[in-house]
């Protein structure tokens, strides 16, 4: 082993001989997972072996989120885990938290490198001269410099891929740090998205999930070019014709950007599934105004109703924030009753968390944390009821399940096109296949149990045989 005399540490020159493993940990959204996966492929292409985060590694890369204080706190715990596993491992922190508070992160014991929004895809360049030392190094930027687009996609269980088509946000919601962490709205070119989709399809992936910060704003260019060369409707229309991809799912679209034409297209498309995730945040128009959201509850209800009119079987998810400054019991009741009145299938519930440098952090009417937690619990309970009701409404219907490729303690799991969780006893012949099934019953763990209508390695949503076959 060759020791380097600088600070008694080992540099990348020595790492070429002995530091050849890398581990990743990702917090936050599907977009982060897509970017982590792309960075991981770069490491592997440069001779590194990727290992699990729980294993000793020579380099640990932590891709952070900063939507809530909990995400910040979790980053600290993950750094400690890496250091316990291998005290000599180089720890690199990237992502939203790294852009927003780099000096706070670099002060965490064990952190060696912090990279901001424009530098996270250049990790390999920076670790070439990196030493393990008492204090790390920051390479950050002004967020105005984050104005270019880097293509990314992730492949988890080799069943579905998260494909990044858009980044950044031009909206100024009063509670949100994302524009400060990721910069302006910009998009990949239509040609490159289609090329990436074909690349994904060539690897046997059956489903693509479109991801972005504000996905429906797709079309804005790099360097502040706000001209929409292509719209989101152009994008999904073109993707519907990519050969080899049997399912395409839209991760999330703002209600004011979810145009009639988009809903109508999905309803008759070949490959887009009947599943929409539409952020709500509040069912009170007063609170929506304080949040600086670009719609009111009436528009949201209209979007949901049109979806259900054209696709009665569609699954609709919603994001909701509880405990926003100024949210009274009456405002929360408005939200609760509004959600209860709509055919929403599930909720993602967030407890409001004060974030530095956002207008909401200094607003009056702070809601006590205990009240926030109580409201969160109420909406989570409502979400469980909504999800159960949606699943029961689909019993005895015929849908298509995409089975995953992992043996989960004797079971195989998958999702229907309209996002119902299913499971069956493990059968390797089902892995990464689409099967037309009849939805039979909901088991004790909340999974849908099914019967296969017709066994096929290439089933698609157009199939709808009425005969019942193998029970699963």
DSSP line for 94-141:
EEHHHHH-HHHHHTSTT--EEE-TTTGGGHHHHHTT----SS-EEE--
Contact yes or no for 49/58 (Cβ under 8 A): no
Write down the pLDDT at residue 459: 40
Contact yes or no for 145/129 (Cβ under 8 A): no
Q: What torsion, rounded to 10 degrees, do the Cα atoms 333, 336, 340, 344 define?
A: 150
Terminal alpha carbon distance of the chain = 55
Tokens 């968390």 belong to 353
Residue 77 tokens, joined: 């715990």
**Three-class secondary structure of residue 294 per DSSP:** coil
**Prediction pTM value:** 0.88
* Distance from C-alpha of 450 to C-alpha of 436, rounded to nearest angstrom: 10
Residues in contact with 298: Cβ distance below 8 Å, sequence separation at least 6, in sequence order: none
Residue 221: HSE in the Cβ half-sphere, 13 Å Cα cutoff: 7
Contact yes or no for 178/96 (Cβ under 8 A): yes
Q: What backbone phi and psi angles, to 5 degrees, belong to 349?
A: -105, 130
Q: What backbone phi and psi angles, to 5 degrees, belong to 52?
A: -70, 150
Contact yes or no for 21/57 (Cβ under 8 A): yes
Q: How far is CA 366 from the centre of its chain?
A: 29
* Distance from C-alpha of 270 to C-alpha of 244, rounded to nearest angstrom: 12
Contact yes or no for 252/278 (Cβ under 8 A): yes
Q: Which of 320, 297, 328 is nearest to 376 (CA)?
A: 320
Q: Which of 232, 248, 237 is nearest to 200 (CA)?
A: 248
In sequence order, the β-bridge partners of residue 155 are 161
Pairing relationship of beta strands 166-167 and 186-187 according to DSSP bridges: antiparallel
Contact yes or no for 157/404 (Cβ under 8 A): yes
Contact yes or no for 153/251 (Cβ under 8 A): no
Write down the pLDDT at residue 19: 53
Tell me how far apart the 2 most distant CA atoms of the chain are, in Å: 74
Write down the pLDDT at residue 464: 34
The DSSP symbol for 48 reads: P
Contact yes or no for 188/149 (Cβ under 8 A): yes
Contact yes or no for 75/62 (Cβ under 8 A): yes
The b-or-e profile of 19-30 (16+ CB within 10 A means b, else e) is bebbbbbbbbbb
Task: Give the number of other CB atoms < 10 A from CB of residue 462.
Answer: 8
pLDDT along the chain (472 residues), means of 10: 34 52 91 92 93 94 83 86 93 92 91 91 86 79 85 82 95 94 94 96 94 95 85 97 94 97 97 98 98 98 98 98 98 98 98 94 97 98 98 97 93 97 94 95 97 68 34 50
Contact yes or no for 303/256 (Cβ under 8 A): no
* Distance from C-alpha of 204 to C-alpha of 169, rounded to nearest angstrom: 32
* Distance from C-alpha of 437 to C-alpha of 415, rounded to nearest angstrom: 11
Q: What backbone phi and psi angles, to 5 degrees, belong to 252?
A: -165, 140
Q: How far is CA 216 from the centre of its chain?
A: 15
């Amino acid at each position: 082993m060759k020791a380097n005399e600088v600070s008694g540490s080992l540099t990348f020159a020595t790492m070429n001989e002995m530091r050849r493993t890398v581990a990743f940990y990702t917090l936050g959204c599907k977009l982060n997972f897509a970017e982590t996966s792309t960075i991981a492929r770069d490491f592997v292409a440069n001779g590194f072996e990727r290992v699990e985060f729980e294993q000793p590694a020579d380099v640990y890369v932590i891709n952070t989120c900063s939507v809530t204080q909990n995400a910040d706190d979790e980053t600290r715990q993950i750094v400690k885990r890496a250091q316990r596993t291998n005290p000599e491992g180089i720890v690199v922190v990237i992502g939203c938290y790294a852009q927003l508070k780099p000096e706070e992160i670099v002060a965490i014991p064990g952190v060696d490198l912090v990279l901001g929004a424009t530098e996270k895809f250049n990790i390999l360049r920076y670790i070439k001269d990196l030493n393990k030392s008492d204090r790390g190094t920051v390479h950050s930027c002004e967020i105005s410099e984050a104005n270019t687009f880097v293509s990314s996609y992730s492949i988890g269980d080799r069943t579905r891929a998260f494909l990044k088509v858009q980044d950044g946000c031009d909206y100024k919601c009063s509670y949100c740090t994302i524009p400060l962490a990721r910069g302006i709205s910009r998009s990949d070119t239509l040609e490159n998205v289609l090329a990436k989709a074909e690349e994904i399809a060539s690897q046997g992936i059956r489903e693509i999930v479109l991801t972005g910060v504000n996905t429906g704003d797709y079309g804005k260019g790099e360097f502040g070019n706000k001209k929409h060369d292509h719209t989101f409707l152009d994008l999904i229309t073109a993707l519907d014709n990519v050969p080899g991809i049997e399912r395409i799912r839209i991760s999330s679209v703002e209600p004011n950007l979810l145009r009639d034409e988009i809903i109508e297209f999905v309803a008759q498309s070949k490959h887009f599934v009947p599943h929409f995730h539409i952020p709500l945040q509040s069912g009170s128009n007063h609170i929506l105004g304080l949040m600086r959201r670009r719609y009111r509850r009436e528009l949201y209800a209209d979007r949901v109703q049109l979806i259900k009119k054209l696709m009665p079987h569609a699954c609709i998810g919603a994001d909701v924030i509880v405990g926003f400054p100024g949210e009274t019991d009456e405002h929360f009741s408005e939200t609760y009753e509004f959600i209860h009145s709509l055919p929403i299938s599930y909720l993602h519930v967030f407890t409001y968390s004060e974030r530095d440098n956002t207008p909401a952090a200094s607003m009056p009417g702070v809601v006590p944390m205990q009240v926030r937690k109580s409201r969160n619990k109420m909406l989570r309970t409502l979400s469980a009821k909504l999800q159960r009701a949606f699943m029961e409404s689909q019993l005895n219907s015929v849908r298509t399940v995409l089975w995953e490729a992992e043996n989960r303690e004797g079971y195989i799991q998958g999702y229907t096109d309209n996002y119902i969780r299913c499971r069956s006893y493990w059968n390797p012949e089902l892995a990464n296949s689409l099967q037309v099934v009849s939805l039979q019953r909901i088991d004790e763990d909340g999974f849908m149990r099914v019967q296969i209508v017709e066994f096929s390695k290439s089933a698609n949503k157009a199939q709808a045989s009425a005969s019942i076959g193998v029970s699963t």
